[in-house]
Amino acid sequence: MEKKKENQVENFSASELRKVVSEAISLCFSDNKVFISDIIGIDEVCKITGLSKNTIYKKTSNHEIPFYKPTLSKRSVLRFRRSEIEDWILRHRVGTVDEYLDSQDGL
C-alpha cells in the first residue's frame, strides 16, 4: 500500500501539490484562534509602539498596556498580543482640528 500512496503523490503536478499544501497550511492556521506570530515579546512591542523598554515596563507595572505574565514569579518574561497592542495604539487617537471644530458646532 505504501507504493500506491507514493504513486499518488507522483501523479500531482507541481502546481497541484502547491495548492494542496497551501490549503493544508490554511486549515491549520484557521483552526487556531491565536497565531504563533501574534504572541510577541517586549522588543517587538518597542518596535511597534516606538517606546523604550523602560517605558513599556512602567506601563505594564501601572497596568496601562495589555500584557501577559505566564508565571507569577517576579522573574517571568512578559508577553504581549500583537493585535492587542495595535488596538491599544488605535485607542489613543488624537482628533484633527476639523473634527474638533465640527464637534464645537454641534454644541
Predicted confidence at residue 11, as pLDDT, reads 73
Which domain covers residue 25, as residue numbers?
2-31
Please indicate whether residue 27 or residue 96 has the higher confidence score (pLDDT).
96
Instruction: Look at the chain and report how many structural domains it folds into.
Output: 2
33-47 pLDDT, tens digit per residue, is 545 578 999 999 999
Alpha helices, DSSP H, located in 2-96: 2-10, 14-31, 42-49, 53-61, 82-91
- Distance of alpha carbon 71 from alpha carbon 102, whole angstroms: 48
Same-domain check for residues 52 and 86: yes
Phi, psi torsion values for 23, nearest 5 degrees: -65, -40
pLDDT at 19: 73
Nearest of 35, 79, 38, 74 to residue 56 by alpha carbon: 79
Residue 82: pLDDT over 90: yes
What is residue 22's predicted lDDT score, i.e. its pLDDT?
72
Q: How far apart are CA 56 and CA 64, in angstroms?
A: 9
**14 and 52 housed in the same domain:** no
Of 34, 25, 23, 38, nearest in space to 82 by CA = 38
What was the pLDDT predicted at 21? Answer: 72
Q: Is the pLDDT of residue 86 over 70?
A: yes
**pLDDT level of residue 7 (50, 70, 90 thresholds):** very low
